[in-house]
Amino acid sequence: MPNPTQSTDAITLLKADHKEIRKTFADFEKAGDGAAKTKQRLVDKMIELLTVHTYLENEVMYPRVRALLPDLEDDILESYEEHHVADVLVMELAAMSVSDERFTAKTTVLIENVTHHIKEEEEDWFPEVRKGLGRKQLQEIGAEMVKARKKAPRKPSQPSALKKTIDAVIA
């Protein structure tokens, strides 16, 4: 959670999340085949980070940007679908053990999908959003995200995590 001297710029906050998520991915990819405990710990961390992050984007960022910048509708709908794919993989991983023969493969697919999504957001979508919204609006959205983070689900099995997936598809 940002302290009062930190920016509440929504894009800055999301990029900070992306950085932490990417670091966790890199740590997983560096873990050796025999590092079962490390891999399990890192996947548990990924699950929590991604559950919180997609909640913030689905509940705050995407709906606000969708209302303020209708031209970005297609990008937002694509992002919801990318989140849906990640949510399904996260839910499956949460139910798996590191000893499952598909655990590493499924984690690799999750990493590839989320890495692609992050790259698209940071290179294409964020610049469009920053151009379309003023600094004040991005600060307001960021402040909403800081509040929402406090109540964000940490596990995909929590009702609000399941709800965000359903809402994203139906909305």
The full length of the chain comes to: 171
- Tokens for 35, please give them: 């590092």
Per-residue pLDDT of the chain (171 residues; tens, 9 = 90+): 444 446 799 999 999 999 999 999 999 999 987 889 999 999 999 999 999 999 999 999 999 999 999 999 999 999 988 988 998 899 899 999 999 999 999 999 999 999 999 999 999 999 999 999 989 999 999 999 999 999 988 887 666 555 555 554 554
Residue 120's contacts (CB-CB under 8 Å, 6 or more residues apart) are none
pTM above 0.85, yes or no: yes
Residue type, 46: M
